[in-house]
C-alpha cells in the first residue's frame, strides 16, 4: 500500500479516536463515595468506599481521580495515592484504567484523630484517549447521608478523670454525686410554715434579706448540667484562647462525663462560652436523656470552635436568671475568683448543687489528645 494511504489512514484513525473519546469518554461513567458510619469518636477508624464504573463499550486507558480531605484524616494504605498537604487539607490524586463494562471498588481505612464535622463534597475525574490527545474532566457533587462524617470529641479513660471527692467510691462513679444523698444540703429556699428552726440558713438569709432554710435533695431525678469555661485564666483576653489544647481536653472531658451519665439514665445538659460553626453562636442545651439527645449533644461539641463568645460570668448569670432548681452543676474551668464564687453561691441558694472541676493541665491535655497512627491497612480492591 502506498505510504500516503497509510499516513491518511493513521491520521483518520487519530481523528476518529480523538472525536470518539471527546464525545463518549465521560458518558455512562459513574462514581460514588460513601462512609461506613455517619459518626465516630476521634481516635477511631472508619471505612470509606469508592466505586468507579465504566458502563459502556469504550475502554478508558487512563483515569486520574482527584479529591480533597481534611489534613487530620490518616489513610491506612497510601501506596496507590499521590498526596499533597497543607495546613488544613490534603489533596489526593490516584491513577487507574477501566476496561469496558468494568467496576472498581476501592476501600480505604481512615483514622480520624480530630473532632469536627466533615463533608465529602466533591470529586474530580480526568480521563482521555490512548494517545493523550484528548482529555475530558468531570466533577461529581457528592450528596446523601453517607457523605457527611461527624467526629465526636475523644472519650477520656475513666481512671484519668479526677472528679470531686464525694463523687467516687473506689474506682466507680456512683449516682450519689449526680443524685445526692437526701441528707446532703444542696442550697437554700424561702422559709415555709412548719420548717424546723435548726434548718435556717443564716448566710443565705443575710444575702436574701428574707428568712431562708437549707434545701434538702429528696428527689430521685436530679438533672446534671455541665458548664465549660473557654477562658483558661482570669487575665486572658476574650476571643483569643491562649491554651487551646487545654480547652480541647475540656471538651473531651465534658463529652466523657455526659456520655457516662446519660448511659446511666441521667438527664444531662451542656453549655459553654465558645463559638459554634454553621451560624449558631453558642450552645445551651437543657438536661435530657436518651441516645438521640446524647448524639445531638456530642454533635454540638464536635461543631465547637476554639473561640470565646462571652465571659463565663455572663454564662452563669444567664443560668441564674432562669431560676433553676434541683439541678447538679458541674463547672469545668481553669480558674475561679470572687465573682465566680459569688455567682455559684447564688446557684446554690436556688436549690442546686455546684461542683468545680479544674480544666486539664497542658500535660494532661497532650496525653489525652495525642493522635494514634492507624495499625491496619486496607488495600484498594478491584473487581
pLDDT at 279: 59
CA distances to 28, 100, 186, 205 from 167, in Å: 62, 66, 14, 29
Q: Find the domain containing 36 and state its range.
A: 27-152
Share of the chain above pLDDT 90, in %: 40
Average pLDDT over residues 58-86: 85
Is residue 206 assigned to a domain? no
Lowest-confidence region among 49-53, 222-226, 317-321: 222-226
- Whether residue 17 is contained in a domain is answered as no
- What secondary structure does DSSP assign to 42-89, as a single string? TTEEEEEEEEEEE-SSS-EEEEEEEEEEETTEEES--TT-EEEE-SSE
Domain count, the chain: 2
Q: Supply the pLDDT for residue 319.
A: 94
Main-chain dihedrals φ then ψ at residue 320, nearest 5 degrees: -65, -40
**Residue 134 domain flag:** yes
What's the pLDDT band for 162 if we cut at 50, 70, 90?
Answer: low
pLDDT recorded at residue 79: 64
> With 70 as the cut, is the pLDDT of residue 204 above it?
yes
Residue 183 has pLDDT above 50, yes or no: no
Task: Give the pLDDT of residue 96.
Answer: 87
Mean pLDDT value across the chain: 82
In a domain, 221, yes or no: yes
Pair 232, 358 in one domain: yes
CATH of residue 332's domain is 3.40.50
Q: What is the pLDDT of residues 116-153, one digit of tens each?
A: 999 888 889 999 888 888 888 998 888 777 788 999 99
pLDDT tens digits, residue range 225-234?
999 999 998 8
Is 177's pLDDT higher than 50? no
Is residue 125 within 8 A of residue 140, CB to CB? The reply is yes
Q: The pTM is what? A: 0.76
Same domain? 166 vs 111: no
Cα–Cα nearest to 247, from 112, 336, 369, 116: 369
Longest dimension (CA), the chain: 122
What is the reported pLDDT for 78?
Answer: 66
Q: Are strands 284-288 and 44-54 parallel, antiparallel or unpaired?
A: unpaired
- pLDDT tens, residue by residue, 95-109: 889 999 999 998 989
> In this structure, are strands 89-98 and 122-128 parallel, antiparallel, or unpaired?
unpaired
How is 126-164 classified by DSSP, letter by letter?
EEE-TTS--EEEEEEE--SGGGEEEEEPPPPPGGG----
| Domain co-membership, 248 together with 346 | yes
**Are residues 262 and 319 both part of a single domain?**
yes
Is residue 9 assigned to a domain? Answer: no
Residue 119, phi then psi, degrees to nearest 5: -120, 135
Given the C-alpha cell 486572658, which residue does it identify? Answer: 236
Asked whether residue 377 is domain-assigned, the answer is no
Phi, psi angles (nearest 5°) of residue 140: -100, 130
Mean pLDDT for the stretch of residues 255-278: 87
> Quick one: 358 and 225 in the same domain?
yes
Task: Find, among 210, 170, 166, the residue nearest to 191 by Cα.
Answer: 210
* Residue 235, phi then psi, degrees to nearest 5: -100, 15
Q: What is the pLDDT of residues 11-55, one digit of tens each?
A: 788 888 888 888 898 899 999 888 999 999 998 999 999 999 999
Question: Cell numbers of 207, please?
Answer: 444575702
Query: pLDDT category, 278, cuts 50, 70, 90?
Result: low
Task: Say yes or no to pLDDT of 87 above 70.
Answer: yes
Check: CB of residue 349 under 8 Å from CB of residue 212: yes
93 is written with which cell numbers? Answer: 490524586
| E strands, 199-308, in order | 212-216, 223-228, 268-272, 274-276, 284-288, 304-308
Q: Are 177 and 52 members of one domain?
A: no
Residue 302 has pLDDT above 90, yes or no: yes
342 vs 14, residue with greater confidence: 342
Maximum mean pLDDT: which of 13-27, 73-87, 284-298: 284-298
Is position 20 within any domain? no
Grid cell at residue 76 = 491506612
> What's residue 84's pLDDT?
83
Mean pLDDT of 161-186: 44
Average the pLDDT over each of 11-15, 337-341, 342-346 and give the range with the smallest value: 11-15
Q: Cβ(69)–Cβ(90) under 8 Å?
A: yes
Quick one: pLDDT at residue 220?
A: 47
293 pLDDT higher than 90 = yes
CATH number at residue 145: 2.60.40.10
Does the pLDDT at position 180 exceed 70? no
The pLDDT-based confidence of 271 (bands split at 50, 70, 90) is very high
Spell out where 223-326 has E strands: 223-228, 268-272, 274-276, 284-288, 304-308
172 and 34 inside one domain? no
Higher pLDDT, 237 or 21: 21
Average the pLDDT over 236-255 and give the result. 86
Tell me how far apart the alpha carbons of residues 340 and 358 are, in angstroms, rounded to a whole number. 14
Amino acid at each position: 500500500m502506498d505510504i500516503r494511504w497509510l499516513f491518511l489512514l493513521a491520521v483518520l484513525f487519530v481523528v476518529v479516536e480523538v472525536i470518539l473519546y471527546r464525545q463518549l469518554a465521560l458518558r455512562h461513567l459513574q462514581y460514588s463515595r460513601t462512609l461506613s458510619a455517619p459518626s465516630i469518636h476521634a481516635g477511631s477508624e472508619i471505612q470509606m468506599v469508592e466505586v468507579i464504573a465504566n458502563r459502556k463499550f469504550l475502554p478508558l486507558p487512563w483515569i486520574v481521580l482527584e479529591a480533597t480531605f481534611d489534613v487530620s484524616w490518616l489513610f491506612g494504605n497510601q501506596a496507590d495515592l499521590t498526596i499533597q498537604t497543607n495546613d488544613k487539607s490534603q489533596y489526593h490524586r490516584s491513577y487507574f484504567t477501566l476496561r469496558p463494562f468494568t467496576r472498581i471498588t476501592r476501600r480505604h481505612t481512615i483514622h480520624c484523630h480530630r473532632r469536627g464535622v466533615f463533608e465529602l463534597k466533591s470529586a474530580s475525574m480526568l480521563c482521555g484517549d490512548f494517545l493523550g490527545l484528548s482529555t475530558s474532566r468531570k466533577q461529581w457533587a457528592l450528596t446523601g447521608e453517607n457523605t457527611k462524617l461527624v467526629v465526636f470529641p475523644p472519650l477520656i479513660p475513666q481512671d484519668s478523670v479526677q472528679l470531686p471527692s464525694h463523687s467516687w467510691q473506689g474506682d466507680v462513679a456512683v449516682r450519689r454525686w449526680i443524685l445526692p444523698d437526701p441528707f446532703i444540703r444542696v442550697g437554700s429556699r424561702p422559709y415555709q410554715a412548719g420548717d424546723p428552726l435548726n434548718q435556717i440558713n443564716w448566710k443565705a438569709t443575710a444575702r436574701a434579706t428574707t428568712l431562708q432554710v437549707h434545701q434538702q435533695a429528696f428527689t430521685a431525678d436530679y438533672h446534671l448540667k455541665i458548664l465549660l469555661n473557654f477562658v483558661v485564666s482570669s487575665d486572658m483576653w476574650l476571643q483569643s484562647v491562649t491554651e487551646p489544647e487545654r480547652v480541647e481536653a475540656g471538651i473531651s472531658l465534658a463529652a466523657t462525663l455526659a456520655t457516662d451519665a446519660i448511659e446511666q439514665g441521667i438527664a444531662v445538659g451542656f453549655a459553654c462560652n465558645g463559638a459554634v460553626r454553621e451560624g449558631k453562636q453558642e450552645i445551651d442545651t437543657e438536661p435530657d436523656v436518651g441516645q438521640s439527645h446524647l448524639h445531638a449533644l456530642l454533635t454540638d461539641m464536635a461543631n465547637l470552635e476554639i473561640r470565646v463568645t462571652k465571659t463565663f460570668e455572663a454564662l452563669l448569670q444567664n443560668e441564674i436568671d432562669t431560676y433553676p432548681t434541683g439541678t447538679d452543676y458541674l463547672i469545668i474551668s481553669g480558674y475561679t475568683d470572687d465573682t465566680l464564687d459569688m455567682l455559684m453561691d447564688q446557684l446554690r441558694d436556688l436549690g442546686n448543687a455546684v461542683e468545680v472541676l479544674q480544666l486539664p493541665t497542658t500535660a494532661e491535655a497532650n496525653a489525652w489528645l495525642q493522635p494514634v497512627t492507624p495499625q491496619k491497612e486496607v488495600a484498594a480492591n478491584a473487581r
